[in-house]
Amino acid sequence: MIRMAIANQKGGVGKTTTAINLATALAATGSKVLLIDLDPQGNASTGIGIGVDQRERSTYDLLVDQVPLRECVVPTRIPGLDIVPATVDLSGAEVELVSVENRTERLAAALGQDVGHDICLIDCPPSLGLLTLNALCAADTLLVPLQCEFFALEGLSQLLRTVEQVQQRFNPDLGIIGVALTMFDRRNRLTDQVADDVRSCLGPLVFDAVIPRNVRLSEAPSHGLPALVYDHACAGSRAYMALARELIARLPEARKAA
């Protein structure tokens, strides 16, 4: 199983939207996909249609109480896509895990129990705390959604420094599969400038597909559906399908690393 963290310590950059729609696209290709909601807000769980009453077990139980993975997995309405949902209890996990031995390895140990999934996507919270550190220690590779706005590069440099520290101390095999530009607005000249700056700095690491600002992408979670299901023809869905095609082309390299 390939394990991919989707992380950026900045909030509101499209991490959850990216996680939900890429998971859906990968499941549509026939892969068995597991989505891990590691954000206490539980937006990935809500956005995929998993109500609070369906979250008897969650990522909190998985990490803190070490409940077996199979007991925490919930099937979604998307064929081939399962999720380990999150509840607000997860907000206390960082404090509870501070004094625990191997606190950075809890998620990696849990995912080691998996059988039957081809790829795991981990939706991280908007911070570089212990939850995100668990994701980076468990992952084979990292996908970074990057909003096309002024402070994007500053936040990215901080994340890359964290990745280097994780590689040196915890997970030497962690790689970066790519950077996805999100919330792109062609009417804003600054957006083009930021995109050009990111591409000049990171080159081929940046995906060609760019995710635009799109009303249908924003509406879809309120219906408990990925945008790819809610409106597969909208500009946002088409962009995520293009991103998924690029991602699939890069996955063999991630599989070799794994």
- Return the closest-CA partner of residue 41 out of 91, 97, 4: 91
pLDDT value at residue 253: 62
Hey, is 59 helix, strand or coil? Answer: helix
Q: What's the predicted TM-score (pTM) here?
A: 0.94
Distance CA 19, CA 215 (A): 18
Distances (CA, A) of 49 to 17, 46, 137, 225: 13, 5, 28, 6
Distance CA 203, CA 179 (A): 10
pLDDT value at residue 142: 96
Distance CA 127, CA 206 (A): 22
Q: Find the Cα–Cα–Cα–Cα dihedral 192, 198, 202, 203, rounded to 10°.
A: 10
pLDDT per residue, tens digit, the chain (258 aa), is 999 999 998 888 899 999 999 999 999 999 999 999 999 999 999 999 999 999 999 999 999 999 999 999 999 999 999 999 999 999 999 889 988 888 999 999 999 988 789 999 999 999 889 999 999 999 999 999 998 887 777 778 888 888 999 999 999 999 999 999 998 887 777 788 888 888 988 899 999 999 999 999 999 999 999 999 999 999 999 999 999 999 999 987 655 444
